[in-house]
């Protein structure tokens, strides 16, 4: 054994080591389901958000929808893509539990996880920047805080960020788990 | 050898394999320097951006600075943190070239790379969302395109995104490299 396990003790014999590997595989599976639920909930709750104000002028009907802002459309697409990826990665995660020696699949998963982490973080933080603007506005650029009018719209879009950021944290944990699992396999 | 190398041929003997590992270590080192330059250039070019328009009213002096928008401040901080991390990771990268058996450092780097990827992507895409808004505005929310007035300011902030996104791509490549290197070590 050239490099020892960096955590969880020094399992010299084969049986406890396989048990730890299996435990890490199951944790990987659970985390993927958690991130899948988070990103799917984010995508759905953002995509179904709209609010029509109870007054209108002859020029404008005051109605806010998520696709009024291109950033929110990107947010929905990013969350949709990542949740689809997480769903399709579940069989590979199960395969890793059953055959814990399969290195190549783990390397593939770690690379795709990193790419999905990039996509999801991009969507979530771009949407967060716009939500912040909607809440606070910006005096220097004369961008007004639209949340003063669209209360429930703003609550929904703020809430839908939560699942997405849970997904980001879980994806970082998944990369961590895979890296540890890769280094343990000799 | 339980799992073969997933690329770069099937080096069965020890000498060519060590050579490939060394090559991957050097590539890792070069990519880190590239990402360091990109993120540092982004941070500096964003932080030094300001424009004062040649006219003013009694109420407002028309001056745009990066810290008028909190998102750009976050962008500068994120790029600064990531470039500092990349600088400090260079010695570990050299250590990996010299002693290519060191697994634990590689696992540590892969985890920190993933975290920094998250931070950098968050900063870059939040800034990109605001830059898009500055260029195009949004009719539904009455957010005006400030780039119609602040031309050179907008060019600078748009340009400073480039280095940051180069950093994002390079960090994904670094995670890929580390994962492949981890799976090759037996």
| Minimal CA separation from B77 to chain A, in Å | 15
What Rg do the C-alpha atoms of chain A give, in angstroms? 21
CB contact under 8 A, A179 and B183: no
Spell out the residues 6+ positions from residue B162 whose beta carbon is closer than 8 angstroms to its own. B38, B42
Q: How many residues does chain B have?
A: 186
Spell out the residues 6+ positions from residue B172 whose beta carbon is closer than 8 angstroms to its own. A111, A114, A115, A118, B117
CB contact under 8 A, B132 and A71: yes
pLDDT of residue B138: 82
Exposure on the CB side of residue A37, measured as CA atoms within 13 A: 5
Q: How far apart are CA B48 and CA A124, in angstroms?
A: 27
DSSP class per residue in A147-163: GGT-HHHHHHHHHHHHH
CB contact under 8 A, A6 and B107: yes
Nearest to A186 among B122, B133, B186 (CB): B186
Mutate to test the interface with B, among A6, A66, A95, A118 (most CBs of B within 10 A): A118
CB contact under 8 A, A143 and B140: no
- Tell me phi and psi for residue A64, to 5 degrees: -115, 130
Q: Tokens representing A95?
A: 């395969």
**How many other CB atoms sit within 10 Å of the CB of residue B12?**
9
pLDDT tops 50 at residue A182: yes
CB contact under 8 A, B106 and A2: no
**How many other CB atoms sit within 10 Å of the CB of residue A36?**
21
Query: Looking at this predicted complex, what is its ipTM?
Result: 0.79
- Tell me phi and psi for residue B138, to 5 degrees: -150, 115
CB contact under 8 A, A115 and B6: no
Q: Are A49 and A65 in contact (CB under 8 A)?
A: yes
Q: How does DSSP classify residue B6?
A: S
CB contact under 8 A, B3 and A122: no
Contacts of A176 in chain B (CB under 8 A): 111, 114
**How many other CB atoms sit within 10 Å of the CB of residue B5?**
20
Across chain A, the runs of DSSP E, i.e. the strands, are 50-56, 61-65
Contacts of A168 in chain B (CB under 8 A): 118
Q: How far apart are CA A40 and CA A84, in angstroms?
A: 8
CB contact under 8 A, B117 and A115: no
Contacts of A3 in chain B (CB under 8 A): 101-104, 185
Mutate to test the interface with A, among B10, B63, B107, B109 (most CBs of A within 10 A): B107
- Tell me phi and psi for residue B56, to 5 degrees: -155, 160
pLDDT of residue B53: 74
pLDDT of residue A59: 63
pLDDT of residue B3: 46
Q: How far apart are CA A38 and CA B19, in angstroms?
A: 43
| Minimal CA separation from B25 to chain A, in Å | 17
What is the C-alpha end-to-end distance of chain A, expressed in Å?
7
pLDDT in tens, B1-52: 444 444 444 444 556 777 787 888 889 999 999 999 999 999 999 888 877 7
pLDDT tops 50 at residue A56: yes
CB contact under 8 A, A178 and B180: no
| Minimal CA separation from B131 to chain A, in Å | 11
Please report, for chain A, the start and end positions of each structural domain, with discontinuous segments joined by +. Answer: 15-48+66-184
Q: Residue written as tokens 């975290």?
A: B115
- Tell me phi and psi for residue A62, to 5 degrees: -80, 100
Q: Please work out, in degrees rounded to the nearest 5, the angle formed at the alpha carbon of residue B67 by the alpha carbons of B63 and B72.
A: 120
The model's pTM is 0.83
**How many other CB atoms sit within 10 Å of the CB of residue B147?**
20
Nearest to B114 among A104, A140, A175 (CB): A175
Could you read off the pLDDT tens digit of each residue along chain B, which spans 186 residues?
444 444 444 444 556 777 787 888 889 999 999 999 999 999 999 888 877 777 666 666 667 778 888 889 999 999 999 999 999 999 988 888 887 677 788 888 888 999 999 999 999 999 999 999 888 888 777 788 888 888 888 888 899 999 999 999 999 999 988 888 888 765
pLDDT tops 70 at residue A185: no
Q: Is B51 helix (H, G, I), strand (E, B) or coil?
A: strand
């Amino acid at each position: 054994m050239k490099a020892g396990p960096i955590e969880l003790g020094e399992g010299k014999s084969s049986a406890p080591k396989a048990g730890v590997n299996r435990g890490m595989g199951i944790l990987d599976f659970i985390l993927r389901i958690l991130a899948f639920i988070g990103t799917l909930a984010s995508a759905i709750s953002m995509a179904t958000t709209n609010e029509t104000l109870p007054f209108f002028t002859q020029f404008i009907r005051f109605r806010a929808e998520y696709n009024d802002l291109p950033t929110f459309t990107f947010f929905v697409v990013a969350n949709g893509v990542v949740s689809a990826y997480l769903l399709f990665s579940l069989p590979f995660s199960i395969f890793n539990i059953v055959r814990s020696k399969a290195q190549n699949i783990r390397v593939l998963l770690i690379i795709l996880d990193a790419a999905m982490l990039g996509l999801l973080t991009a969507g979530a933080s771009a949407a967060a920047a716009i939500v912040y603007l909607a809440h606070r506005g910006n005096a220097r650029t004369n961008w007004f805080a639209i949340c003063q009018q669209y209360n429930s719209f703003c609550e929904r879009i703020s809430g839908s960020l939560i699942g997405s950021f849970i997904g980001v944290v879980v994806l970082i944990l998944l990369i961590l788990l895979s890296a540890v699992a890769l280094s343990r396999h000799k």
